[in-house]
Amino acid sequence: MPDVTKTAAVATEDAIAPPSAAGPAPQKPDKARSLWGDAWQDLRRNPYFLVAAVLISFLLIITAVPSLFTSASPTVGDLVHHYLGKPELGSVGSEGWLGYDGQGRSVYARLIHGTRASVIVGICVTLIVTIVGGITGMIAGYFGGVTDAILSRITDIFFGIPFLLGAMVVLQSFTERTVWVVVFALAFLGWTQITRVMRGAVITIKQADYVQAAKALGAGTTRILFRHILPNAMAPVIVVATISLGGYISAEATLSYLGLGLSSPIVSWGVDISTGVQQIRTAQHILLYPSIMLSITVLAFIMLGEAVRNALDPKLR
């Protein structure tokens, strides 16, 4: 007969053995990721986002430290180089390898230093319209009723003003048009789109169960708006703001080209494009290089906005 005592002991040892001895350990369930976590994972695999991120990082470095790329002055020239467009032999990387303008100033130096004005205008206008439009749209969408009606009608009035035409009128009222004046003119009319996007998102989100639960628990209006509604309503606002940033840079260049935006001695791509148009038959390089730089910058921000939109929209994923 088999030894019953030994068999029972072996069975007991198997029952209390650690999982590694009895077999493979059970796998832990993956930690649930949020919308932002999923979006980041998608962005890291998106080639458009990677290209846009590299270009924008490069532009931000130029904006912050232009002296890393050129030591030449963008406002001081030598008439010996009057409209010299042919790169000097052996001068690649120096101040003259893109030629000179009518006052003998380095086109390359003006291209580098002109990045600062354009990028600052685009970023500052985007921040202002996002804050103003986001708060206005959040208040209108959450409270509704008379508050929504008044704010929506004000938004419609500003939305009905042509953007560039309104900016021209605003800028005409200033005798000195600095970077901050241009920022104010563009932000004064640019907040309406963000307001509409935020209002629609808040109207949808305020009906969610977690918002109703927060109200039932006695949470205040400020806490509900900034703790529960705002984080969940920011996704479409970020997409619109990112895409609009390139548009604001283009608008600044357009106003400067028309002589209503930035003007000399401020260095701007729009100013150089305006100067280059006057010499398009004899000195095409003055127009060509700032136009290329402006197009690349606007394209980079549009690509970034499209990549963010695809990442944050579950239907597109």
**Would you give per-residue pLDDT tens digits along the chain (317 residues)?**
445 444 444 444 444 444 444 445 555 555 556 666 777 788 888 888 899 999 999 999 999 999 888 888 887 766 666 666 655 444 444 566 777 877 778 888 889 999 999 999 999 999 999 999 999 999 999 998 999 999 999 999 998 999 999 999 999 988 888 899 999 999 999 999 999 999 999 999 988 888 889 888 888 888 888 888 988 888 889 989 998 999 999 999 999 998 888 887 888 898 888 888 887 777 777 888 899 999 999 999 999 988 888 887 766 55
Integer Cα distance of 177 and 244 in angstroms: 22
Give the residues across from 100 on adjacent strands: 106
Distance between CA 267 and CA 85 in Å, rounded? 19
The answer to whether 249 and 291 are in contact (CB under 8 A) is no
Beta partners for residue 3, in sequence order:
none
Q: What is the pTM of this model?
A: 0.81
Contact (CB, 8 A) for 291 and 273: yes
Q: Which two tokens stand for residue 262?
A: 């930035």
Cα angle, residue 155 at apex, residues 154 and 160 outer, rounded to 5°: 100
pLDDT at 71: 83
pLDDT, position 293: 92
CA distance 133 to 29: 41
CATH number of 56-312, picked from 1.10.3720.10, 3.30.420.40, 1.10.10.10, 3.20.20.70: 1.10.3720.10
Task: Return the domain boundaries, the chain.
Answer: 56-312
Distance between CA 271 and CA 260 in Å, rounded? 10
The DSSP output letter for 79 is: G
